[in-house]
Structure 1
């Protein structure tokens, strides 16, 4: 009992010292294993090496970086901007409409990424400038992005659901199916929260410009490729055409093809995509836990 308390305390201290969670947990686990095996360094080193090799050879874990890679390709292809514009075309003219557009766009982007961190980072670049332009309060703007980013945890293909399924040996397909309703419920409640804030403080969210129906339908055409990619990935999983890992690979390939078709790729962009993917993985506590 005392050893557990000491180990947990050491872990918390290292985390507050901003040591990456993966290294903090690795240090505590390594030293703890060394201690409970009568200070046997060879046993601890063997355990650490075996764990690293087994994790690196785990084929099923490749689904996590592949879904995040798909989201990064979509972002570089400009599809995240089109998704936000399509949502803004229908609700942006309302008071608080830009905040609602942000939440809807976060839900749509989560459906092709699965990472809350990637969703928040992307939508902060896409949605924050328009909200500041129209005089939205910083609190409402930031809260819309932060709340919408959490939808990546629920809406398939959620990285958290993938990891939970791998750890508990549950069906990832069934977990994805179970995540749809809570995700839609979360979107609805966030939209209601925006309306409540605007009702109490109308000056915090001025209305935007109303778009004619012709431009709204044009904006919808821009997200057809995103919708088709989502249907391909999730539909293939649900009908049993391919596994979640294969779906992630197909989704990343499809997003790459879309970015290449739009001529958005070059050496620097590819490098940025890979760096961003590694960064999102490094800052993900769940991925650190699995490692």
Structure 2
């Protein structure tokens, strides 16, 4: 059997294992290990398994993952995420659709702490859904805005998606973080526009909330200042060259812990729970990364990436045409695969193609991560939809999927804007102080 045939057989076996609900990491371990053994011998497979696990486990750059996850978990258990929502609600909650808009802003703020879409959707769902129900918001709007707003967690830095992309493609984590800032703000703005448009066309879906006094607005904004300061400190520190991404993660995690203690909102039991949850999430991410470094050499040995590259070049399409095909593949895969699984499965195939075409890897990374976001709310797998369903059990999945459709279209519009104007993505990384 040829190397290419072995590679395609391995990919088929991987999809079969995923369809059987084998965890992504273990499925990739099995396929990668057996594939390398078939193409290069058992000794090479066992040697690679030992070396890659140790190399990744001792990588200094990967410390950013548990630290940012811990920062988000601490912010959640201390109520800092609720303070972000309360501040946004106090300012715009009195307008039509204001509670939904406040939820989007709250999701964006929490995304800048947690780096996790699932955590953003879960936390903001618990905070905001009850309030929107209380003021008779349409279920499609309330659940849709939480599911879609949660996706900001993988685009607005710090983002676990960017970290994994950087590790797999050997790009700068700091530059990717900065590249996600303006696209994240563009997407957040389009989400707010979508809410306003829905409430203008169907006013009953998002009635205005009660007015707040200037004193109430001031108190709410003051309550959110500490966590906003942490966001500015971490992202601003990276941009200004004060911190590396790893140092910024340590500063941010330490700052939220100190704020939690100062506010007397972080008992030792809550700190222990947040730390335990962070360790569990980090272990899952590390397993996926180690497994990715097993399957990537297998794909390289099978020459599948070069075969795909030759095929795309044979189509004689312009660079944007090839890029459109790749993004379309990501959009389709997003309907069936979890985001991180898509990254580790497809980057070894597509990344050499786009670099050969001269596509900026930072720009491509933001486009890929945005398409991963769209998968989070695409049927039938859309994990954020199921997260919202767990928080709002009375809402049907069909209702939530209908609710996220306008926001999915807003994400598609954002993707088109970023493809047409790459300078939106590249402006901050190009002005970064090294």
Say whether 1:90 aligns with 2:108.
no
Report the Cα distance in structure 2 between the residues aligned to 1:283 and 1:16, rounded to whole angstroms: 19
Report the Cα distance in structure 2 between the residues aligned to 1:15 and 1:278, rounded to whole angstroms: 24
Report the Cα distance in structure 2 between the residues aligned to 1:287 and 1:216, rounded to whole angstroms: 45
Say whether 1:4 aligns with 2:7.
yes
Tell me which residue corresponds to 1:141.
142
Segments of 5+ residues of structure 1 without an aligned counterpart are none
If the length of structure 1 is used for normalisation, what is the TM-score? 0.92
Pick the aligned partner of 1:25 from 28, 37, 41.
Answer: 28
1:219-258 matched pairs, under 5 angstroms:
219-258=220-259
Q: Which moved more, 1:193-202 or 1:208-217?
A: 193-202
Report the Cα distance in structure 2 between the residues aligned to 1:109 and 1:11, rounded to whole angstroms: 34
Distance 1:238 1:175, change over 3 A: same
1:115-264 matched pairs, under 5 angstroms:
115-264=116-265
Give the SS at the match of 1:150.
helix
Distance 1:197 1:283, change over 3 A: farther
Residue deviations 1:95-144 (CA, integer Å, cap 9, x gap): 21111100001111111222222211211111111112212222211211
Residue deviations 1:252-272 (CA, integer Å, cap 9, x gap): 111111111222333431232
Q: Which moved more, 1:156-165 or 1:63-72?
A: 156-165
Distance 1:102 1:239, change over 3 A: same
Residue deviations 1:171-219 (CA, integer Å, cap 9, x gap): 3333222222111110110011112222332222222111111110110
Give the SS at the match of 1:210.
coil
Contact 1:117 1:280 in 2 (8 A): no
Distance 1:192 1:247, change over 3 A: same
Distance 1:206 1:279, change over 3 A: farther
Contact 1:77 1:258 in 2 (8 A): no
Residue deviations 1:62-104 (CA, integer Å, cap 9, x gap): 1012111101111112111110000001111122111110000
Residue deviations 1:35-72 (CA, integer Å, cap 9, x gap): 1124x2x4322221211111101110110121111011
Tell me which residue corresponds to 1:34.
37
**Cα offset, 1:282, TM superposition:** 5.9
Distance 1:224 1:287, change over 3 A: farther
Report the Cα distance in structure 2 between the residues aligned to 1:169 and 1:32, rounded to whole angstroms: 24
State how many pairs are aligned: 288
Tell me which residue corresponds to 1:15.
18
**Cα offset, 1:29, TM superposition:** 0.6
Distance 1:287 1:216, change over 3 A: farther
Contact 1:76 1:259 in 2 (8 A): no
Give the SS at the match of 1:217.
helix
Contact 1:236 1:247 in 2 (8 A): yes
1:101-116 matched pairs, under 5 angstroms:
101-116=102-117
**Cα offset, 1:239, TM superposition:** 2.0
**Cα offset, 1:249, TM superposition:** 0.9
Residue deviations 1:139-159 (CA, integer Å, cap 9, x gap): 211211111111122212222
Tell me which residue corresponds to 1:288.
288
Contact 1:73 1:255 in 2 (8 A): yes
Q: Which moved more, 1:158-167 or 1:90-99?
A: 158-167
